[in-house]
Amino acid sequence: MGVSRSIRKWWHSPPAYLRLRSSKWTIGITAFGACFTDGYLYGSVVPVLPFSLVERSGVSEDDVQFWLSMLLMVFGLCLGVGAPIAGWAADRGPRSTPFMFGLVLAFAATLLFCFASKPWGLILGRMLQGFSASVIYTAGLALVADAVDPKEIGAWMGFVFSGNTLGLLFSPFLAGLVYDYLGYYAVFIILFGVIAVDIVLRGFMIEKRTADKWLAMENKTYDDIPDEDTRESDVSSERAPLRAENDDVTQQSPPADERSSLLHSKPKQSRSWLGRLFPTTAVLASSPRLMVAVYGVFTHTMLLTSIDSILPLFVKRTFEWTSSGAGVIFLTITCPSLFGGFFGALSDRYGSRPVCLTGLATTTLNLALMGLVAHNALLDKILLCIFLFLVGVGLNLIFPSLAADLFYEVDVLAKTHSETFGTGGAYAQGYSLLCLALGASTFFGPIWAGLFYQMTNWPITMASLAGLTALPAVGVFFYTGGVASKEKQGGVEASESRV
């Protein structure tokens, strides 16, 4: 009997170092590491594939661009398909479960890339990478949104996603060098090391919602712990007053965000097939402010994948560089990512709209100027590095501001449509729309850039990318929020946009 009581007491005791493992810094660093792992796995093969497809897979030089684009396209397709599923799962249960499952998929994808020699094996590996990324960006960003102060969401989104950008753009540099000097398999030894670090981080972290349940019980004695068959009813009774309090709160008028078109009317049941089958998605998709953020992220990532697709080929043909040179050039666009948290904090301080518009203008201008680089001359190489660096600055201004604005809009919609969103909220499903944009842009970006570069030339390709980058500025100007703040009314915090 005493042994049984000891075992049950141990079973119901909080995990060790609970507060540390569930702190916003631990969760933020873990999400940063997950994004870095995904970006690093994705980007490591970028400078290697143009050479390994010929040497290992037997692909002809004329078909290399086709297979490069195909590998990027299937990644984007699986990223988009997996995002809604991952978002639904992360909002309906513990977010850490799909978060860990994404790591399993990443490991399997790396094994395929390491040992597969045929193009179909590489395509299967890219597909698993796409599904893994869909879980990371939905569950991972939702974990961060749960843990941090909403007034700091821009800085944290900038910090977390800078992990992806660093991994995506730093990995070609290192992988290119390793491939040239140590060979193909050495590249994957480093990849498995990165995954091992990610395993440790994800295993150590405890999500905020799980930690809150333990912290609420930590002052109780063992005798207060309910039996297995009564625990659920006790938890439901404990939450009943909270639900009643929340019902009272939802009857109050929350501060209105004048840039959300949905706040000035009562929520009503959608009669469309989308509203019946996916009510939460229907509410999210009907917000112009949220859709502008999704479209802006689509443009941001389409540009990144386009550069991934054609830049190694451009420097190989124009400057006659090897995979090492193709990797080194990515450092120029990577450097601004070191200050991702700073760029995100700018949107917290000055608002998402001006920061995002500045990023779009900076990126558009320098993309157009990149079209001037055309000769194997020292001046052209210097100019290309400068333009890529400024493009990197612009990209780091765009994404954190839009990710933060999406968070604010989801927060507002959750309060005005509480009967649709439920107690689990919709952060993961909101970020799944963002992830869907990432997948679609990864699918279309290589097609657009690859076709333009193959059928025209470098200047026309850069001009087309500059034009695409400028398009979201109209929607950002009219719908994206200004300076976000948190104010308390009746003891409840609500998100407000000051414009």
Residue 231: per-residue pLDDT: 44
Q: How far apart are CA 189 and CA 187, in angstroms?
A: 6
Q: CA-based Rg of the chain, rounded to a whole angstrom?
A: 24
Q: How far apart are CA 38 and CA 130, in angstroms?
A: 9
**Beta bridge pairs of residue 289:** none
Residue 335 CA neighbour count, 13 Å, CB half: 11
Task: Give whole-number Cα distances, 116 to 57, 110, 192, 330, 478, in Å.
Answer: 9, 10, 16, 26, 49
Residue 426: per-residue pLDDT: 67
Tell me the pLDDT of the chain (499 aa) as tens digits.
Answer: 555 555 555 556 778 888 888 898 999 999 999 989 988 888 787 777 777 788 887 888 777 777 877 887 788 788 888 888 887 787 777 788 888 888 889 899 989 888 887 888 888 988 998 899 888 878 888 888 888 887 888 788 878 877 887 787 678 778 878 888 888 888 889 999 999 999 899 889 988 878 888 777 765 544 454 444 444 444 444 444 434 444 444 444 444 444 444 444 444 444 565 556 667 777 888 889 999 999 999 999 888 878 877 888 888 888 888 767 776 787 888 788 778 788 888 888 888 899 999 999 999 999 999 999 988 899 999 999 999 999 999 998 998 889 888 888 888 887 777 777 665 556 777 777 887 887 788 778 877 887 888 888 899 999 999 999 999 999 999 998 754 444 333 333 433 333 3
Cβ atoms 437, 301 nearer than 8 A: yes
Give me the residue label for tokens 């879980």: 135
115: enclosing H helix or E strand: helix 96-115
Give me 374's structure tokens.
């055309």
Give me 347's structure tokens.
């949107």
Contacts for 13 with CB less than 8 Å, ≥ 6 apart: none
Buried/exposed code over 102-133 (b: 16+ C-beta within 10 A; e: otherwise): bbebbbbbbebbeebeebeebbbbbbbbbbbb
Buried/exposed code over 192-224 (b: 16+ C-beta within 10 A; e: otherwise): eebbeebbebbeebbbbbbbeebeeeeeeeeee
DSSP codes of every residue in 138-207: IIIHHHHHHHS-GGGHHHHHHHHHHHHHHHHHHHHHHHHHHHHHH-HHHHHHHHHHHHHHHHHHHHH---
Which one-letter DSSP state was computed for residue 242?
H
Give me the residue label for tokens 């399993």: 104
Burial of 375 (0-12, 13-18, 19+ CB in 10 A): exposed
Task: Give whole-number Cα distances, 484 to 18, 160, 277, 382, in Å.
Answer: 31, 19, 32, 39
Cβ atoms 408, 257 nearer than 8 A: yes
Q: How far apart are CA 136 and CA 439, in angstroms?
A: 13
Which one-letter DSSP state was computed for residue 497?
E
Q: How far apart are CA 109 and CA 117, in angstroms?
A: 14
494: enclosing H helix or E strand: strand 492-498
Q: Quote the Cα angle for 443-445-449, to 5°.
A: 135
- The model's pTM is 0.69
